[in-house]
Amino acid sequence: MKKFFIILLLAAFGTAFAQEEQKLPITDPVSVGDSYGEGVSDDALKTAVSADQLEKMLNDSDQIEDAVVYGTVTEVCPKKGCWATIDTESDQRFFVKMKDYGFFVSTDLKGKNIVLQGKAENKSVSVEEMQHYAEDAGKSEEEIAAITEPGKEVRFLASGIRVVE
């Protein structure tokens, strides 16, 4: 009986961990008003700045703890919806990750206008990390191999996201 209980317990743990690892992309249709993570309050919406304005603000400070930014999504991780990029006038990469990897966004978010709330910073990015995200985005082997220099980008750690018009 003791062996049976131990085997049952191990099987339950194995199943729980296996299910946790299998995260499929969210492909739900996206509508105005949809929220992800903690969402963005109506009051915060009123204070949102553009990605370009935030980039200028980051020239004066290394990071901004409670930033609220609006922009158009240009890319979403096709594997899980675990990161996104936002369009900027300066064609600088504005990279969004989800706080604590605690939520994902729909892969259908691409092309949608959103407001993000969270922490922003200028970040140096290693070649390996840039290649990893290029691979996630489905870039070709040649495009990935062409990444040979570290980069800099605005990195946003989103605690909440809301789809807007």
Q: What is the extent of the structural domain holding 130?
A: 22-164
* pLDDT digit string, tens, across residues 108-159: 999 999 999 999 998 888 999 999 989 988 899 999 999 999 988 889 999 9
Assess if residue 4 is contained within a domain: no
Q: Using an 8 Å Cβ cutoff, are 24 and 81 in contact?
A: no
Q: How many CB atoms lie within 10 A of CB 55?
A: 20
Assess if residue 114 is contained within a domain: yes
CA nearest to 122, candidates 56, 48, 46: 56
Assess if residue 131 is contained within a domain: yes
Which CATH number fits the domain that encloses residue 86?
A: 2.40.50
Assess if residue 6 is contained within a domain: no
Length of the chain in terms of residues written: 165
pLDDT confidence band for 4 (50 / 70 / 90) = very low
Which residue in this structure is represented by tokens 């892969």?
Answer: 107
The number of domains in the chain is 1
Assess if residue 10 is contained within a domain: no
Assess if residue 1 is contained within a domain: no
Assess if residue 31 is contained within a domain: yes
Q: Using an 8 Å Cβ cutoff, are 160 and 98 in contact?
A: no
Assess if residue 9 is contained within a domain: no
Residue 2 is predicted with a pLDDT of: 56
